[in-house]
Amino acid sequence: MKFFLHSWFYVSELDDKCVGYISLLTRKGTHYACFYSFAVHPNFQRQGIGKRLFTEVLKLISSDKYINTVGLEVRADNTYARQFYEEIGFYQVSIKRAYYADGMDAICMHMSM
Ligand SMILES: CC(C)(COP(=O)(O)OP(=O)(O)OC[C@H]1O[C@@H](n2cnc3c(N)ncnc32)[C@H](O)[C@@H]1OP(=O)(O)O)[C@@H](O)C(=O)NCCC(=O)NCCS
């Protein structure tokens, strides 16, 4: 069996410590990349680290000629993260009802590259 899934894991470091990360998945034969997970350590949030990390990763993706759309899922009640993504340029494309284990919906968002 062959796998054509590629994954990347980017970290943000401060004094040799990881303070934030983003993981990203793509699949050969598609033009889509999916942000799988993204977080900044609570002690380091609201200092611009998340925005810088996300912006750098988007720059890297935009240099990939095959990827024309990036996407992600975010909890409907994560109003800050939703706002964060909208400010970066993501827009809502659909909703997955009761996607999370506690019954919360997922908001699916895309951004064109
Ligand atoms: C989402 C997350 C990664 C953002 O990282 P961050 O480093 O805190 O974000 P930044 O400091 O770069 O913030 C960028 C902008 O977002 C806004 N913002 C940041 N934190 C905010 C908050 N708690 N409430 C409202 N707006 C906020 C601000 O406009 C900020 O710009 P400003 O500092 O110039 O005002 C971080 O909050 C986090 O790890 N949250 C928990 C995990 C999570 O929800 N991940 C997303 C799952 S889909």
pLDDT band at 102 (very low <50, low <70, confident <90, very high): very high
The CATH architecture that domain 5-112 belongs to is 3-Layer(aba) Sandwich (3.40)
Nearest CA to ligand 1 atom 8: 45
Ligand 1 mutation target, pool 80, 88, 96, most atoms within 8 A of CB: 80
Radius of gyration for the alpha carbons in the chain, expressed in angstroms and rounded: 15
**Mean pLDDT, residues 58-87 taken together:** 94
The ligand 1 atom nearest the CA atom of 81: 1
What does DSSP say about strands 106-112 and 69-75: parallel, antiparallel, or unpaired? antiparallel
* pLDDT computed for residue 65 by the predictor: 85
Q: Is 37 a pocket residue for ligand 1 (Cβ < 6 Å)?
A: no
For a pLDDT cut of 70, what percent of the chain falls above it? 96
pLDDT of residue 4: 60
Sequence-distant (≥ 6) Cβ neighbours of residue 80 within 8 angstroms: none
pLDDT tens-digit map of 20-66: 999 999 888 889 999 999 999 999 999 999 999 999 999 988 888 88
Across the chain, mean pLDDT equals: 93
21 lines ligand 1 (CB under 6 A): no
